[in-house]
Homo-oligomer: A and B are copies of this chain.
Amino acid sequence: MRIAVLGTGTVGTTLASGFVRTGHEVRLGSRTAGNERSVAWVAETGAGASEGSFADAASWGEVVLNATGGLVSIEALTAAGAENLAGKVLLDVANPLDYSEGFPPRVVQPDGRSLAEQIQSTFPEARVVKTLNTMNTVVMTDPRLLAGPHTVFVAGNDAEAKALAADLLRGFGWGSEEILDVGGISGSRGLELYLALWLTLIGSFGTPAFNVGVVRA
């Protein structure tokens, strides 16, 4: 598939590389085409990799992934263009973290609404799926790094979009039984607030190589 990855930070480039490695074409999108990090990523990745502006990447992509900073995601997606998101699966892996008071940052949910819900209501024609925001990039794209089954959550209002997200996750090595659908996009509230615990755990362990797995009776 043609996947537009918006955001050139570690999350964006690691996911972009993961998608290329698993057979997809990726265009890395940033505020301006020719962004230094984007160009470097394309050079080191080679075949299957390209870069451009948010709008260029989003219009090219069959699937769009939001890996921009959570507090600027609405702005970045607006730059990408509502018309370039309409009808497409929009994977939201961002976390709305406010670092203004230092570490650990605070999860920001105005009026209790998650970032993913804000994205869905701002871009009603996009088929938003919240996923992968609950772990570090090394775990996202290499789940078998961990010593046992663990869980990746998906939340969204569109079942077909969640099924496509699950296919992409399986491409990274996630087992079907590890992919947990938590219902509609409002389930993103819990997925984003969980970051507070995740940040505590990274402090305890001193490494991001962990995740949680849901264990049932």
Chain A interface residues toward B at CB < 8 A: 106-107, 112, 145-151, 155, 180-183, 187, 189-191, 193-194, 196-201, 203-205, 207, 209-217
**Chain B hits for A191, CB < 8 A:** 197, 200
A38 → chain B closest CB, angstroms: 30
- A205 and chain B: residue at smallest CB distance: B216
| A107, A209, A213 pick with most chain B CB within 10 angstroms | A213
Can you tell how many copies of this chain the complex includes? 2
**Chain B hits for A145, CB < 8 A:** 217
A3 → chain B closest CB, angstroms: 27
> Does the CB pair B215–A200 fall under 8 Å?
no
> Does the CB pair A216–B147 fall under 8 Å?
yes
**Chain B hits for A197, CB < 8 A:** 190-191, 193-194
The 10 closest A-B pairs by CB, nearest first: A190-B197, A190-B196, A209-B217, A212-B212, A190-B200, A150-B215, A193-B193, A193-B196, A187-B200, A210-B216
- A210 and chain B: residue at smallest CB distance: B216
**With contact pairs A147-B215, A215-B146 given, residues A182 and B209 touching in the complex (Cβ less than 8 Å):** no
A211 → chain B closest CB, angstroms: 6
A149 → chain B closest CB, angstroms: 7
**Chain B hits for A181, CB < 8 A:** 204
> Does the CB pair A182–B198 fall under 8 Å?
no
**Chain B hits for A107, CB < 8 A:** 193
**Chain B hits for A194, CB < 8 A:** 190, 193-194, 196-197
- A208 and chain B: residue at smallest CB distance: B217
**Chain B hits for A187, CB < 8 A:** 200, 204
- Cross-chain contact of A215 among B183, B196, B204, B211 (Cβ < 8 A): B211
**Chain B hits for A151, CB < 8 A:** 212
- Cross-chain contact of A201 among B199, B205, B209, B214 (Cβ < 8 A): B214
Q: How far is the CA of A145 from the CA of B180 in the complex (A)?
A: 21
A32 → chain B closest CB, angstroms: 35
Q: How far is the CA of A191 from the CA of B200 in the complex (A)?
A: 9
Q: How far is the CA of A180 from the CA of B68 in the complex (A)?
A: 32
